[in-house]
Every structure is written in C-alpha cells, then in structure tokens.
C-alpha cells in the first residue's frame, strides 16, 4: 500500500505524520501542489513485459493525461532484479544517482505499473516521503526539490510523461540532505 511519511528537514528521525490512507495522502499532497491519484491496474507487469505492452495496456489513461496536461513524450523506466555482479553494480549506480536532491524544469509525472519506489519531496521545512506502489500516479511540480529511492533491489516499472525531450534531466543542488533520511527499505520496515 501507498505510504506517506512526513519528517522535519532538520530532524529526520522525528515523524510528523505517517499514513497509508490514500484519501488523506491525496488531500495533503494536493495542498502542496502535488498531484496524487490511482489508476486501475490492467495487467500484471513483470520483467518480461515490454514497454509497448505496458503502454498499450494503459493507452486510454495515458492519452487522457497527455491531453489534459499537454504532455507529448511518454516512455517506460524499469529495473527488475537479475542475478550477477554486473546487475548489482548497475542497480547501485542508478540508485545512488537519484538519491541526490535535485529539481526538474518541468513536472515529473510517473505512473507505477509495477513495483515500488519512493519520492522524497523537500518542501518548505519538511520532507514528504511518498512510497508509490503499482497503481499510483504522482506528479511532482516543476522546481520542487526532491530525490527518489528505488530500494536496494530495484523492482519497478513506471510510465514517465514529459513535455520536452530533456524533461527528465535533473538540476542537482549538491545538498547532502538526502543522506540524512531513512531509505525506502527502512520506511517499509517501519510497518513491521
């Protein structure tokens, strides 16, 4: 299930709020200008599901969102567990890159068709950790400071939406703030 955990930027161990209530998550994020919603899952995506199959399964939703928000480029970002040292190194490198605080010149819009990932939104004095799972749609407004954790064993497929071809390129702040906050695996372990 989706999770929102709010922490103070200067006290990462202090939990201001923790909830799995999607209505509450949606309302709280909306107040921040962040869109959160859910789409019905149309297929059980696996590591063998192609980008074409995934996009075809969600064609009506994708087309409606593109029309509504003026999005013109759509693709799929995915990582699935593989065996071997090469995969482990590739996964660790990908994880480390996005665990640095950055912003984008356009909205970062993602639909999770499979798996889990966490967006950390650094807004005002708080950090909002939004754990997204299959079925979740999140739109982070342009200019919002954030980072993303795909976990130690990345396993996800997300449809990405852009207005420009380089819309995914991040402007990294160099601030080490992301290193102070609990990672995806720690957030999920908090339920145990």
Burial of 158 (0-12, 13-18, 19+ CB in 10 A): buried
The partner residues of 109 in beta bridges, in order of sequence, read 139, 161
Residue 104 marked as a ligand binder? yes
87: number of Cβ within 10 Å: 15
The partner residues of 157 in beta bridges, in order of sequence, read 78, 114
Question: Is 55 in contact with 62 (CB distance < 8 Å)?
Answer: yes
DSSP code per residue over 69-135: HT--EEEEEEE----SHHHHHHHHHHHHHHTS-EE-SS-EEEEEEEEEEEEEEEETTEEEEEEEETT
Residue 122 marked as a ligand binder? no
Residue 165 marked as a ligand binder? no
Known binding-site residues for Ni(2+) equal 102, 104, 108, 146
Known binding-site residues for Fe(2+) equal 102, 104, 108, 146
Known binding-site residues equal 102, 104, 108, 146
């Amino acid at each position: 299930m989706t999770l929102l955990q709010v922490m103070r930027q200067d006290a990462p161990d202090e939990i201001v709020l923790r909830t799995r209530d999607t209505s509450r998550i949606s309302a709280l994020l909306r107040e921040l200008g962040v869109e959160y919603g859910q789409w019905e899952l149309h297929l059980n995506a696996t590591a063998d599901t192609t980008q074409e199959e995934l996009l075809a399964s969600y064609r009506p939703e994708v087309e409606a969102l593109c029309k509504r928000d003026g999005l013109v480029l759509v693709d799929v970002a995915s990582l699935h567990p593989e065996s071997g040292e090469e995969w482990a190194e590739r996964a660790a490198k990908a994880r480390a890159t996005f665990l640095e605080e950055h912003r984008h010149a356009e909205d970062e819009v993602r639909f999770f068709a499979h798996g889990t990932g966490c967006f950390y939104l650094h807004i005002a004095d708080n950090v909002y950790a939004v754990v997204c799972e299959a079925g979740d749609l999140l739109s982070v407004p342009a200019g919002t400071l954030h980072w993303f954790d795909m976990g130690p064993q990345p396993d996800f497929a997300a449809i990405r939406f852009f207005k420009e071809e380089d819309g995914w390129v991040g402007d990294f702040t160099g601030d080490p703030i992301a290193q102070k906050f609990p990672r995806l695996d720690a957030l999920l372990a908090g339920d145990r």
